[in-house]
Amino acid sequence: MTVIIVALSPLVADAQPLCHRVEFGGGFAVPFQEDNRTAYGAAPVFHLGYAARFAKQGWVVVESGLQTSGGDLIDDPTFEVNTRYWLLPVGFGLRGNAGEPGQRVQLGLGLMFQSVWTWFENPRGQISSEPSFGVALDLRPEIMLNERWGLWLRQRLVLLSASAKDKSGLNHSSGQTEIGLSFGGT
């Protein structure tokens, strides 16, 4: 009888509770392309995400956000020619944390695939759009404020394909700096 109980014991192990977090934050993006940076400068960035732990140090992350900026793409002093672009990134990726769960300070390293919907409004008010695809790499230190809330600062490198069909000719690859809060389990 003891042999049967010992043989079946791995099948009755306690289930681990699902650990998940909601994350939100904002900051700014600085485009790598010189024409984009000259015309629009830094753009505000906002993100909302969900992360679920799949291993002791690993998280699956899904997030979406918004980035927009306006300026004079043509840079002609004779005419004031305003244009605007919007980006709506949707990402799916993995983030690993250095250190043990429950530590007050965590250092996260992430890799995310992004599909980005882009819209561009030309000086005549015509809007064109095109999807763009790429990856985002992040470095994210986080300080746990208590058992549920964390304050994070993220430095992100976003590498995207150029937009050709939206008639802006802009490449929205950028460096991003964000600050935000996370709420949930550690």
Q: Cα 169 to the chain's mean position, in Å?
A: 23
Q: What is the pLDDT of residue 111?
A: 97
Per residue in 16-57, pLDDT tens? 566 899 999 999 998 888 877 777 778 899 999 999 999 888
27 lies in some domain = yes
| Domain extent for 21 | 16-181
User: What's the structural domain count of the chain?
Assistant: 1
Assign residue 67 the CATH number of its domain.
Answer: 2.40.160.20
pTM of the predicted model as reported, rounded to 2 decimal places? 0.79
How far apart CA 93 and CA 116 sit, in angstroms, is 14
9 lies in some domain = no
51 lies in some domain = yes
> Alpha carbon of 132 to those of 17, 65, 118, 159: distances in Å?
37, 14, 7, 10
109 lies in some domain = yes
One digit per residue, the tens of pLDDT, for the chain of length 186 reads 444 444 444 444 344 566 899 999 999 998 888 877 777 778 899 999 999 999 888 999 999 999 988 876 665 566 666 778 888 999 999 999 887 777 899 999 999 999 988 888 877 777 878 888 999 999 999 999 998 999 999 999 999 887 655 455 677 889 999 999 999 977
143 lies in some domain = yes
Q: What is the pLDDT of residue 140?
A: 95
6 lies in some domain = no
Q: What is the pLDDT of residue 75?
A: 58
11 lies in some domain = no
Q: Decide: 148 and 139 in contact? Cβ < 8 Å.
A: no
137 lies in some domain = yes
